[in-house]
Chain A
Amino acid sequence: MAAHISTLSLPRLLVAAKNASLHARWQGVAHSAVRYSTVPVPQEKTFDKILIANRGEIACRVMKTCRMMGIQTVAVHSDVDASAVHVKMADQAVCVGPAPTNQSYLNMDAIMEAVRSTGAQAVHPGYGFLSENKEFARRLAAEGVAFIGPDTHAIQAMGDKIESKLIAKAAQVNTIPGFDGVVETVEDAVRIALDIGYPVMIKASAGGGGKGMRIAWNEEETRDGFRFSTQEAASSFGDSRLLIEKFIDNPRHIEIQVLADKHGNALWLNERECSIQRRNQKVVEEAPSTFLDADTRRAMGEQAVQLAQAVQYSSAGTVEFLVDSHKNFYFLEMNTRLQVEHPITELITGLDLVQQMIRVAKGYPLLHKQEDIPINGWAIESRVYAEDPYKSFGLPSIGRLSQYQEPLNLSNVRVDSGISEGSDISIYYDPMISKLVTYGATRAEALSKMEDALDNYVIRGVTHNIPLLREIITHPRFISGDISTNFLPEVYPDGFNGHQLTAGGQRELLASAAALHVSAQLRAQTFLGTLRVSASSQERRRWDLCVELGGERHPVVVSRTGQTYTVEVGGESLVVSGEWDLASPLLPLKINNTPRMLQCLSRTASGDICLQYLGTSFKVRVLSPLAAELSSFMPEKVPEDTSSILRSPMPGSVVAVSVKPGDTVAEGQEICVIEAMKMQNSMTAAKTGKVKSVHCKAGETVGEGDLLVELE
């Protein structure tokens, strides 16, 4: 602690003191996680002040390195982000507009003004927003402000998927067969698709991150896909141009991190395996890949460097490849920015990519040679999203983080986040909560650490995808490395349903719930101080209970000695011990001497307990045998018939409504389109019927569960 503070200058020390809690957070990171290092090069003067034209975790990530390098930071923010973590972390902050991104984080005029008014010498764009916007880079250059990224030429060349493919071909990089031009109309799209042969991929020329991307297996899907992708591309990138190429079935998505300077030097920093995706968005990433051998790795790395050099690339960038089962690899695209998943590369190589980007932007040559780049150990990243994983592997959820605790007490865990307890996850921005990264000497070690980290991660107030993440990283196919970009739909063909309990797991869950219930009951009888009318406490040592789980009742017998409960359930006896801290969200238990981290999500007086066990939350009800017996007399409350009602599955805005009252719709027919987090989601009829009433219109904002359309 003392050593850390001594490296801070006085003004920074004041900032640190002002944000004591924040400071503690970063301390935590510094102690537990750093496998990469920001080694300042004292004789190298870079910038005095950098503006970070981004928000959330990436803004915080960049600021962290800036601090270590002794660079002042300027945050920009929208109205609603005024008290966001990245704003508090920065030395200076400027509001650049209202919540919608096109009026704030994409508002170049306002951001340029912020650069001028704060005197920032350089701008780090993070990812997304203006990171790959050549116009922004050009305007900065015109004012003599350094853009921490490649120059406009490279952004332009690689930002356009059509042009980039041509350049890649010329640079002798393997490319996917497809049409090297802009697709103008739906009819063009259908014709070209036929030429290439189905399946085809329709994607935004300007895009990235899975937005504006559709796969089509036939003509009808091509038409739909063209329409959706055009709209999404227009709303996400302000550029609706599309291209079409051969879709490679069952591929792996493996990308190479490159780092180049302005002196013609370029390095490849090994690969990242990003095959676990849903709707073309990455969910779990790891470095290195289990699939690549040294030769393929080198071949891919060398092609990536060739491409970078072909466009005089400088700064950090990523060359994405699709790799088929025979280890043939095809160039997909090059991202001319820092990637979301850059931390795993940092952990295995020890380099701080942000620091390198800043150095390169100032014009310094690379410090490393290709042979200096190691693969040390294994790193895995889980993208923790505010999403409901039970709906299409993740539909956005919004809300306020009523409780939030990152698992930074564990070693070899790095959490890159830009939120804290009390933060709002709003409909305006990406619903990512954090990037949870674990590291180990081996993949098994990193995976086991990831399990622990997910179990120790406390998130309340929004629905999150930890259940899905934990299932993925413990799935035998994932563990064996047998993955592809189709992993999720293949493993969960009927959608994700959470962890499926084994008989032993069920016993553990029932026993934990019963013991927790008894410990809460015992406390409810403990009154402190002297009572005028004495309380008659019964010294019970044994509790007969009935635990309901998934509609089934399980008789359970609990007996207690101190903090240890012996629970008889399903013909077995389990010993459950723990601290039984009823205020803590975490419930560290030992079940038959095996440590298990459970979380208590809720506990009511009527015996309902919601426990997170192995990532998934389970609802149980613990009752006395009497209450259980009498419960059977209680009437079932009839839930509303949902097949004739269409409710919004997530908060967002209505883009289009395709029906009106009186229309007859067929099952599966599109009723309306909801846009949330810049993704367009088509809402379809659950049954064939007549439209009774329409409760939404285009342009309206709707909340999760809002009634959209009623069928008769």
Chain B
Amino acid sequence: MAAFTVARSSSRLISGLRTSFGGLARVKHGVVAATASQVSLQQQCRRYAVGQLSVKERIDKKRQEALLGGGQPRIDAQHKKGKLTARERIELLLDPESFVEYDMFVEHRCSDFGMEQDRNKFPGDSVVTGQGRINGRLVYVFSQDFTVFGGSLSGAHAQKICKVMDQAMMVGAPVIGLNDSGGARIQEGVESLAGYADIFLRNVLASGVVPQISMIMGPCAGGAVYSPALTDFTFMVKDTSYLFITGPDVVKSVTNEDVTQEELGGAKTHTAVSGVAHYAFENDVDALLNLRDFFNFLPLSNQDAAPVMESHDPSDRLVPAMDTIVPSETTKAYDMLDIIHAIVDEKNFFEIMPSYAKNIVVGFARMDGRTVGIVGNQPKVASGCLDINSSVKGARFVRFCDAFNIPIITFVDVPGFLPGTAQEYGGIIRHGAKLLYAFAEATVPKITIITRKAYGGAYDVMSSKHLRGDVNYAWPSAEVAVMGAKGAVQIIFRGKDSQVEAEAEYVEKFANPFPAAVRGFVDDIIEPSTTRKRICRDLEVLASKKQVNPWKKHANMPL
């Protein structure tokens, strides 16, 4: 390391000499062409030479430079776009004065295309890294600096990120990445690609060990997108963030499609259409303040229990409104979110992917202060059926909860899997299997409440007793059956008369919670108003649950 430093400082000396030849090599900033002229500060730096300034003074100067990133004009440009700088973002995200910065003096090591020139070197390069606290709890952070070469990823940039990720893994604390980068540092070529791969590998190794959150706060294009894709949560900022493999220009040249950045990879696209992102925030400030709130739901690592906070909401609170929320007509919809909001602590529910596959609702809440993951079929959208998108959405969420010791509470009102060629051709069989797999594999406390329909295979899937549900409740309105009465009667009494009578008989027999209850497939039929109280009590008991799956290198889930 020491040798490395010496070599670098000598190269700086040489490059210092080179600058006297004038601006021969003007370097483009990353893939995003930056047009603003070089910063005057960089020229001022030329004034010192080794020997005239003490090391202390040089340290201070470097620090000063590092704090300014790409310089004031670029900071102003960033602000003009409605974006904050890398450092402002960190300051807002972390507790005041808690940030401990690493690698402030790291510089890129590229010597081609004039990059070796002093004015093309920025202390810290295009990313700010370190650790700090959110509401007192430890977190590792990297924040890409768009003002330096458009936030492009150099070897040094990647190395800084890897350093904090490695330490986060050792310590057992989450990693939050604030992404704002034009992409690879083209001048560095394969070194930049190697850097991405180094990060990807760490994303994969850290997966399931510490929570990883990506907040996309600017462009994130090309190979770069795979780091957020590998993390647990990808959040975006509306109007200022983009995620795509190839931008609109390439799309035009390859497929002849006309599409804007926003349409191709904006927050709306990814939160509503592709399902790549988990939530979109209004702007940088809104995003970071909300991220602090979100962070409080998560344990620091897979070695920690779900956090418990002080709750002012009585755990034995009855919710009388639940007794009438399920409409008496079985075909009539209601809003599962009404149930969730009424039952969780203080109506505080952080919904994940609220605009995507809305027929399933997933998100975090607290019960008596303890973080829980909530999964619920949404009767209001497509009758709450399971389809490809909702299965994948649910599965990923369930697996996160299981990986990080977060109990799962499942509200079931599902008429079955969605039929049709689109679903079959799309592979509903293997995608549906993901949700089944995730629930079956999960060893965290699992509490299930059947509010109304639990039909067919979808009943099995939704955290049923058979998939090791710890406590399974049915509301009096529950109907656990292979299918609805009409369909069932058409099969059982095919071609016979008296279908109406048969239907009534079927309803009498199966459209109620008894068939499941007499077999012990539900543990109790409960008054809906007592649901909160029951769940809180069960969670207390299940807090010490220990369940281990058979040893394996890793499972082979249907991908």
Binding site for B on A (CB under 8 A): 21, 79, 82-83, 400-402, 420-423, 523-529, 531-533, 535-538, 581-584, 604-607, 623-624, 626-627, 630-631, 633-635, 637
User: Does B92 belong to the interface (CB within 8 Å)?
Assistant: yes
Q: Is the CB of B136 within 8 A of A422?
A: no
Q: Which of B328-348 contact A (CB under 8 A)?
A: 328-329, 335, 338, 341-342, 345-347
Is the Cβ of B338 less than 8 Å from the Cβ of A524?
no
Residue numbers in B under 8 Å from A525 (CB-CB): 135-136
Q: Are A533 and B239 in contact (CB under 8 A)?
A: no
Check A583 against B312 for contact (C-beta < 8 Å): yes
Contact A583 B91 (CB under 8 A): no
Within 8 A of A (CB), among B265-311: 282-286, 289-290, 292-294, 296, 300-301, 303-305, 307-311
Quick check: A524 and B284 within 8 Å, CB to CB? no
Asked whether A630 lies within 8 Å of B133 as measured between CB atoms, the reply is no
Contact indicator A630/B84 (Cβ below 8 Å): yes
Contact A529/B308 with A633-B82, A634-B283 known, Cβ cut-off 8 Å? yes
Report 18 cross-chain contacts, Cβ distance below 8 Å, ordered by A residue. Answer: A420-B320, A421-B320, A422-B321, A422-B324, A524-B309, A527-B137, A527-B308, A529-B305, A531-B137, A533-B137, A533-B138, A536-B136, A538-B96, A606-B290, A630-B92, A630-B285, A633-B82, A635-B82
A524 and B88 contacting across the interface, CB-CB below 8 Å = no
Known: A422-B325, A631-B285. 17 other contacts (CB 8 A): A402-B342, A528-B310, A529-B305, A529-B308, A532-B303, A532-B304, A581-B312, A583-B312, A605-B289, A605-B293, A606-B285, A606-B286, A606-B289, A607-B289, A633-B82, A635-B283, A637-B282
B124 close to A (CB within 8 Å): no
Chain B, Cβ-Cβ closest to A581: B312
User: How distant is the Cα of A537 from the Cα of B301 in the complex, in angstroms?
Assistant: 20
Instruction: Check B172 for interface membership: any CB of A closer than 8 A.
Output: yes
Count chain A CB atoms within 10 A of each CB in B286, B292, B305, B323 and give the residue with the most.
B286
Q: Is the CB of A533 within 8 A of B172?
A: yes
Residues of A within 8 A of B286 (CB): 606, 634
Q: Which residues of A contact B239 (CB under 8 A)?
A: 635, 637
Say if the beta carbon of B98 comes within 8 Å of chain A. yes
Q: How many angstroms between the C-alpha atoms of A605 and B83 in the bound complex?
A: 20
Residue in B84, B321, B347 with the greatest tally of chain A CB atoms within 10 Å: B321
A537 / chain B contacts, CB cutoff of 8 Å: 136
Contact partners of A526 in chain B: CB under 8 A: 309-310
Bound CA span A224–B171, Å: 77
Q: Which of B137, B293, B294, B346 meets A583, CB within 8 Å?
A: B346
Q: Would you call B155 an interface residue if the criterion is a C-beta within 8 Å of the partner chain's C-beta atoms?
A: no
The 5 closest A-B pairs by CB, nearest first: A422-B321, A605-B293, A535-B136, A635-B82, A583-B312
Let me know if B285 and A527 touch, CB within 8 A.
no
Q: Give the residue of B292, B320, B346 whose beta carbon is less than 8 angstroms from that of A582.
A: B346
A560 to B88, CA, bound (A): 28
Contacts of A528 in B (CB 8 A): 308-310, 369
A630–B86 CA distance with the chains assembled, in angstroms: 12
- List chain A residues, Cβ under 8 A from B304: 531-532
B46-86 contacts to A, CB under 8 A, are 79, 82-84
Chain A residues near B320: list those with CB within 8 A.
21, 420-422
The interface residues of chain B lying within 8 Å CB-to-CB of A532 are 172, 300-301, 303-304
Query: B: which residues have CB within 8 A of A?
Result: 79, 82-84, 88, 91-92, 95-96, 98, 133, 135-138, 171-173, 239, 282-286, 289-290, 292-294, 296, 300-301, 303-305, 307-314, 318, 320-325, 328-329, 335, 338, 341-342, 345-347, 369, 529
A126 to chain B, nearest CB (A): 22
A633 touching B173, Cβ below 8 Å:
no
Which residues of the other chain, A, contact B92 by a CB distance below 8 angstroms?
626-627, 630
Are A583 and B133 closer than 8 Å at their CB atoms? no
How many angstroms between the C-alpha atoms of A637 and B82 in the bound complex? 11
Contacts of B138 in A (CB 8 A): 533, 535
CB distance from A120 to the nearest CB of B (A): 24
Residue of B nearest to A605 (CB): B293
**Which residue from B133, B313, B325, B329 sits with its C-beta under 8 Å from A535?**
B133
**Nearest neighbor of A521 in chain B, beta-carbon distance:** B135
Residues of A within 8 A of B294 (CB): 605
Contacts of B285 in A (CB 8 A): 606, 623, 627, 630-631, 634
Say yes or no: A82-B328 contact (C-beta < 8 A), given A526-B310, A527-B137, A538-B95: yes
Closest-CB distance, A569 to chain B (whole angstroms): 21
Could you say which residues of chain A place their CB within 8 Å of the CB of B303?
A: 532
Residue of A537, A582, A634 with most chain B CB atoms under a 10 A cut-off: A634
Contacts of B345 in A (CB 8 A): 583
List, in ascending order, chain A residues with CB within 8 A of B173's CB: 533
Give CA–CA (A699, B449) in the complex, Å.
40
| B313→A583 contact, CB < 8 A | yes
Which B-chain residue is minimally distant from A22 (CB atoms)? B320
B300 touches A533 (CB 8 A): yes
The reply to whether B328 and A605 form a contact with Cβ atoms under 8 Å apart is no
- Whole-angstrom distance between the alpha carbons of A336 and B215 in the complex? 67
B41: min CB distance to chain A, Å: 21
- Expressed in whole angstroms, the Cα–Cα distance for A532 and B136 within the complex equals 13
Closest Cβ–Cβ distance, residue A268 to chain B (whole Å) = 42
Residues of A within 8 Å of B313, CB to CB, are 583
Asked if A83 contacts B328 (CB within 8 A), the reply is yes
The listed residue (B307, B311, B323, B341) touching A402 by CB distance below 8 A is B341
A524-B84 in contact given A422-B320, A422-B325, A627-B289 (Cβ < 8 Å): no
Q: Nearest Cβ in chain A — how far from B194, in angstroms?
A: 32
Contact, CB under 8 Å: B172 / A524: no
**Contact indicator B171/A630 (Cβ below 8 Å):** no
Residues of A within 8 A of B309 (CB): 523-524, 526-528
A422→B342 CA distance, assembly (Å): 10
Closest to A532 in B: B304
Nearest CB of chain A from residue B280's CB, rounded to whole Å: 13
Which one of B84, B96, B320, B341 has the greatest number of beta carbons of chain A within 10 Å? Answer: B320
Chain A residue contacts of B312, Cβ below 8 A:
581-584
| Measured CA separation A535–B341 after assembly (Å) | 29
Question: Smallest CB-CB separation from B334: which chain A residue?
Answer: A400
Q: Give the CA-CA distance A240 to B296 in the complex, in Å.
A: 63
In the bound complex, what is the Cα–Cα distance between A582 and B369 (angstroms)?
Answer: 12
Q: Given the complex, which residues of A lie within 8 Å of B322, measured CB to CB?
A: 422
CB-CB nearest in chain A for B543: A529
- Whether B324 contacts A83 by the Cβ 8 Å rule is yes
Chain B residues closer than 8 Å to A421, beta-carbon distance: 320-321
Instruction: Return chain B residues, CB-CB under 8 Å to A605.
Output: 289-290, 292-294
- Known interface pairs A583-B311, A584-B312, A633-B82; A536-B133 also in contact (CB < 8 Å): yes
A634 vs B79: C-alpha distance when bound (angstroms): 8
Contact of B284 (CB < 8 Å), options: A623, A624, A634 = A634
User: What residues of A have a CB within 8 angstroms of the CB of B98 in the complex?
Assistant: 536
Give the complex CA separation of A623 and B95 in angstroms: 13
Most buried by B among A582, A606, A626, A627: A606
Per the bound structure, the CA–CA distance linking A626 and B94 in Å amounts to: 12
Task: Return A586 CB to nearest CB of chain B, in Å.
Answer: 12
Residues in A whose Cβ lies below 8 Å from that of B289 = 605-607, 627
Question: Nearest residue in A to B83 (C-beta to C-beta)?
Answer: A633
Give the CA-CA distance A520 to B223 in the complex, in Å: 41
Contact partner of B296 (CB less than 8 A), chosen from A524, A536, A627, A635, is A524
How far apart sit A528 and B369, CA to CA, in the bound complex (Å)? 9
Cβ–Cβ < 8 Å partners of A634 in chain B: 82, 282-286
